[in-house]
C-alpha cells in the first residue's frame, strides 16, 4: 500500500542533518526510533499471534465435517428367545454430513476476508505508531532547542551579573543593578532547569514508544526545517484519504458482513447426512447392508433470525464506513488548522517580533553601557527577547507535529 511505503520517508523529510549526530554515543536517529517502535511497541505485539489465528481460522473453515462411526446392538439381554446374545442383531456403519449450497466455500471466504481485515488493522495501528513516534521525536528536538536557548540566556545573565559585580568592586557599579542582575541570573537558571526536566520527560515519552521506561539515549539527531510556503486546500487533502488503512478497514468489514449474509442465506438449505452400514442378524444367521439418509425439514427454523442479523450487520458496517470517513475528514481539518495556526505564528514571531525584540535589547544594552537607562530596563528587554525566541521554537515544533499528523492521515508529502 502507498501508506506502508511512504510514511517514514514523509516524517524523515521534516528533518535536515538527521544523520549528523547519529554516529555519536547516546544519540538516536529518527530511523532508529521508528525501527525500535515497530519492533517493540506493545500495540503491535499481539498482531503476530492474530496473524496465526487468522491462518488457523482459514484452515478450520476449509475442513470438511468428519464422518461418524455408529454401532448398535439390538435384541439382547432380554427374556425367552432374546436371552443373552443368541438373537442379537449387530449394526455398524459410517455416516457423512454433506453440506449443500457451497457453505464450506463461503465459510472460507469469510475467514479470508477476516484475515485481510486483520492485516488492515495491523496497517492502521502501524501507521499510528509511526506517526506518534515522529511527533514525539519532534517534541524532543523542540525541547532540545529550547534547552539550548535557555542555556544561552543563562550564560548571558551570568556574564551580566559578573560584569556588574566587578563594577561594584571597582566602585563604579550600583547595588540595585547587582540585585537585579542576580535576580535575572536566578530566573535564567530556574528556566534552564525547567527546560532540562521537560527535555528529559520528552525523551522518556519517546522511548516509551518501544516500551523502554529509561531512555538509552540523551540526544536525538536532526534539526527542524523552516515551514514551507504552501499548504494544500481541504478539498485536495480529502481526496487523498481513500487509501487510508482505517477507511479500508471499515470497508473490509462491509465485505465480511456481506459474505456472512450469503452464508446465512445458504444455511436455509438443509444439509444431507448419508450413511452406509453392515447388519448381522444372529437369530437367522444372515448379513445385510444398511443404507441411510437424513434430511432436516425446514418447517420451523428457516434461519430467518440469522439472515436478519447479518443484514443488520451490513447496515452497521456501512454506517461505520461513513463514520470513519467523517472522522478522518474532521481529523484532517483539525490538523490543517493547527498547521496553519502554527505557521502563521512562526512567521510573525520569527519575523517582525523577534527582530524588533532583539533590536530593542541591543539598543538598551548600548544605552545601559552609557549610563542612560537602568539595568531593570535591560533585564526586561532580555526577558522579552528570550520569551519570543522560545515562542518561535515552540511554534516551529507545533508546525512539524501538525505536519506529521496531516501527512500520516493523507499519506501524501507536501
**Mean pLDDT, 10 residues at a time, over the chain (414 residues)?**
45 48 70 92 89 93 93 86 83 94 92 92 91 94 94 89 81 80 90 95 95 91 85 89 90 93 92 94 88 91 92 95 95 94 93 88 84 82 90 94 90 78
pLDDT of residue 180: 85
Q: What does the alpha-carbon distance between residue 410 and residue 414 come to, in Å, rounded to a whole number?
A: 10
> How much is the pLDDT for 7?
52
CA dihedral 140, 144, 150, 155 (to 10 degrees): 160
Domain 2-64+99-268+303-410 part of CATH 1.20.1600.10: yes
Report the C-alpha gap between 47 and 127 in whole angstroms: 14
3-state secondary structure of 161: helix
Nearest to 274 by CA among 110, 99, 17, 14: 99
Q: Which helix (H) or strand (E) holds 26?
A: none
Write out the E strands in 30-177.
68-74, 89-98
CA distance readout (Å), 347 to 4, 161, 241, 262, 353:
33, 33, 29, 58, 9
Rounded to whole angstroms, the Cα distance separating 378 from 384 reads: 10
Per-residue model confidence (pLDDT) at position 382: 87
* pLDDT at residue 11 in the model: 54
CB of 144 closer than 8 Å to CB of 215: no
Contact 17, 221 (CB under 8 A): yes
Sign of CA dihedral 141, 144, 150, 151: negative
Sketch the domain layout of the chain as residue ranges: 2-64+99-268+303-410
Torsion angle, alpha carbons of 9, 10, 15, 20, to 10: 0
pLDDT score, position 72:
92
Strand partners, 294: 273
pLDDT of residue 4: 44
What confidence score (pLDDT) does residue 77 get?
Answer: 83
Q: Which helix (H) or strand (E) holds 293?
A: strand 286-294
Q: Which three cell numbers stand for residue 257?
A: 458482513
Amino acid at each position: 500500500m502507498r501508506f506502508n511505503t511512504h510514511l517514514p520517508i514523509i516524517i524523515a523529510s521534516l528533518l535536515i542533518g538527521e544523520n549528523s549526530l547519529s554516529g555519536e554515543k547516546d544519540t538516536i536517529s529518527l530511523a532508529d526510533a521508528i525501527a525500535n517502535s515497530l519492533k517493540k511497541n506493545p500495540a503491535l505485539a499481539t498482531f503476530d499471534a492474530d496473524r496465526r489465528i487468522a491462518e488457523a481460522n482459514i484452515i478450520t473453515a476449509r475442513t470438511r465435517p468428519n464422518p461418524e462411526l455408529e454401532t448398535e446392538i439390538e435384541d439382547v439381554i432380554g427374556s425367552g428367545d432374546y436371552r443373552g446374545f443368541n438373537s442379537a442383531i449387530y449394526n455398524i456403519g459410517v455416516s457423512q454430513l454433506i453440506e449443500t449450497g457451497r457453505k464450506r466455500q463461503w465459510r472460507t471466504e469469510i475467514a479470508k476476508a477476516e484475515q485481510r481485515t486483520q492485516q488492515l488493522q495491523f496497517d492502521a495501528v502501524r501507521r499510528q505508531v509511526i506517526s506518534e513516534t515522529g511527533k514525539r521525536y519532534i517534541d524532543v528536538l523542540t525541547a532540545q532547542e529550547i534547552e539550548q536557548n535557555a542555556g544561552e540566556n543563562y550564560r548571558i545573565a551570568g556574564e551580566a551579573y559578573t560584569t556588574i559585580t566587578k563594577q561594584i568592586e571597582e566602585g563604579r557599579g550600583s547595588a540595585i543593578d547587582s540585585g537585579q542582575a542576580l535576580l535575572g541570573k536566578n530566573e535564567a537558571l530556574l528556566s534552564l532547569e525547567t527546560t532540562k526536566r521537560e527535555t528529559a520527560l520528552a525523551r522518556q515519552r519517546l522511548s516509551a514508544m518501544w516500551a523502554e521506561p529509561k531512555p538509552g539515549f540523551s540526544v536525538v539527531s536532526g534539526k527542524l526545517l523552516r515551514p514551507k510556503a504552501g499548504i494544500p486546500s481541504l478539498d485536495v487533502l480529502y481526496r487523498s484519504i481513500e487509501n487510508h488503512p482505517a477507511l479500508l478497514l471499515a470497508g473490509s468489514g462491509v465485505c465480511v458482513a456481506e459474505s456472512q449474509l450469503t452464508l446465512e442465506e445458504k444455511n436455509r438449505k438443509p444439509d444431507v447426512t448419508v450413511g452406509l452400514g453392515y447388519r448381522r442378524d444372529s437369530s437367522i444367521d444372515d448379513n445385510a447392508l444398511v443404507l441411510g439418509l437424513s434430511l432436516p425439514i425446514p418447517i420451523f427454523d428457516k434461519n430467518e433470525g440469522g439472515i436478519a442479523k447479518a443484514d443488520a450487520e451490513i447496515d452497521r458496517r456501512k454506517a461505520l464506513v461513513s463514520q470513519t470517513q467523517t472522522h478522518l475528514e474532521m481529523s484532517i481539518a483539525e490538523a490543517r488548522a493547527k498547521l496553519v495556526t502554527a505557521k502563521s505564528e512562526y512567521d510573525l514571531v520569527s519575523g517582525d517580533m523577534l527582530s524588533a525584540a532583539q533590536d530593542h535589547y541591543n539598543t538598551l544594552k548600548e544605552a545601559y553601557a552609557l549610563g542612560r537607562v537602568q539595568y531593570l530596563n535591560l533585564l526586561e528587554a532580555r526577558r522579552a527577547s528570550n520569551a519570543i525566541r522560545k515562542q518561535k521554537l515552540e511554534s516551529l515544533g507545533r508546525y512539524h507535529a501538525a505536519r506529521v499528523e496531516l501527512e500520516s492521515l493523507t499519506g501524501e508529502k507536501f
